[in-house]
Structure 1
Amino acid sequence: MGRIICISNQKGGVGKTTTAINLAASLASAERRTLLVDMDPQGNAGSGLGLKRDQLNGTIYEALLNGRPMKELIHSTELRYLHVVPATPDLTGAEVELVSHERREFRLREALRPLAKEYDYILIDCPPSLGLLTLNSLVAADSVLIPLQCEYYALEGLSQLTHTVDLVRQELNPSLKMEGILLTMFDGRANIANQVVDEVRGYFKDKVFGVVVPRNVRLAECPSFGKPIILYDIKSKGCESYLALGREIMNREGRKPPARKVA
């Protein structure tokens, strides 16, 4: 059975979609069958992997609202082992439309169930909110990965998100675990960035990933080319960080990545 990891933070601009795309590519480059599901109406996970909106043959909206099989919505990418289920702005209306549906919190879990044995990892890119789309993602997931920008205000939203995770665990998904907190956009020249790292590591201890993702121009550039960083600049610091994150996640489960880095 594959593992489902939800990538969530209700604060925007923390590197959430960047993490979703590049962690998925890192796992796929290690020949892990990986599916990235875009639950953000902005649809950046798909476009960041080269999908053109006018060429899509289906989106996650159709699975959530119309019951269309998820298999029919899967799109290939440049990486052999990486597939994606895209989103478009149509998904914005799903927050309201889902309210009248029975078991509305379980729609994504039920849609993903047939795919559980076909992928080693299913990553879910959540919207920057704590609405029904994020709730569906948390209910469907085995664990939640929280990207945290190395700035002061980022800490304020962290307690709210961890509280939400606790509530979901109590009420809807008892098996939900904390995959870890990923420190992103780190600038070692800024005192506040180092203070945030020390504070988060001091409080959350082993729940914080060892790798820290730096501010990196190449990471910012690659979405405009529709490529993950591993296909855009494999020698960049940003690429090294996400390859290290993929190894850290696989090594936690005793899975050793093969020697070659690109599928």
Structure 2
Amino acid sequence: MRVHRRLSEGLAEESFNQYDLILIDCPPNFNVVTKTAIVASDHVLIPAKADYLSTLGIDYLRRSLNELVGDYNDYAKLEEGKGDTDRIDPTILGVVFTMMQIYGGDPISAQRPFMSQTAALGVPVFSNYLRENKSLFADAPREGIPVVLNGSAGARKVVSELEGLVSEFSAKLGM
């Protein structure tokens, strides 16, 4: 458990005091990198596709998160008086659905049940989501400009969705 504290200790250094918010992007598995990031975090944001396997993974992540917090806090209790091991209590800020297929301004009917299923798990779900646009995202590296600067109608929709997501994210954090 001491290894999991390393990132948290690093982020506590004075050079990070200038930041109001630090986002830590993790791989989509529950390995030492992800565990270390969770120990260093106050909140967990879960990006997910609205499909069968991804929604199963959300429940697995929630159970694994609770187990990690319990184990870490048991360790912190044993270490009381020996050092600076504080207990942790990261909360799931919510699930952001990504790679959404949109028809008529809404997610396609095949994706909506998975969104509802996730909400039924008791996990907060962001009302904003990010659409899939293979041609727009695939061309960005070749053209050498970020999607948000593309200027096309598709890019404007992506920018609008990102703005909505950031606003909802900020509101959930009380910023």
TM-score bracket for the superposition, by shorter chain length: 0.7 to 0.9
Aligned residues: 153
Q: Distance in 1 between matches of 2:8 and 2:37?
A: 8
Which sections of structure 1, spanning at least 5 residues, go unmatched? 1-101, 256-263
TM-score computed with the length of structure 2 as normaliser? 0.74
Structure showing greater Rg: 2
How large is the Cα RMSD of the aligned pairs? 2.5
Amino acid at match of 1:133: V
Deviation at 1:116, TM superposition (A): 4.0
2:35 to 129, 135, 155: 135
- How far the C-alpha of 1:127 sits from its partner, in A, is 1.5
Counterpart residue identity of residue 148, structure 2: I
Gap change, CA 1:232 and 1:153, over 3 Å in 2: same
> Contact 1:233–1:239 at 8 Å: present in 2 too?
no
Structure number with higher strand proportion: 1
1:147 pairs, out of 24, 33, 47, with: 47
TM-score, normalised relative to structure 1: 0.52
Aligned to 1:103: 2
**Deviation of the 1:251 alpha carbon:** 2.1
Q: Using CA pairs below 8 Å that are at least 6 residues apart, which structure has the higher relative contact order?
A: 1
* CA distance in structure 2 between the partners assigned to 1:111 and 1:181 by the alignment: 27
- Is the 2:93–2:172 Cα contact (8 Å) retained in structure 1? no
**Aligned partner of 1:104: which letter?**
V
Cα deviation 1:12-39 (Å, max 9, x = unaligned): xxxxxxxxxxxxxxxxxxxxxxxxxxxx
Write the deviation string for residues 99-124 of structure 1: whole angstroms up to 9, x where unpaired. xxx82111111111114421111000
Q: Which stretches in structure 2 are left out of the alignment for 5+ residues?
A: 73-86
Deviation at 1:212, TM superposition (A): 1.6
Q: How does 1:208-247 map to 2 (within 5 A)?
A: 208-217=125-134, 218-222=136-140, 228-233=146-151, 235-247=155-167
**Equivalent-residue separation in structure 1 for 2:21 and 2:147 (angstroms):** 19
The alignment-based identity, stated in percent, is: 26
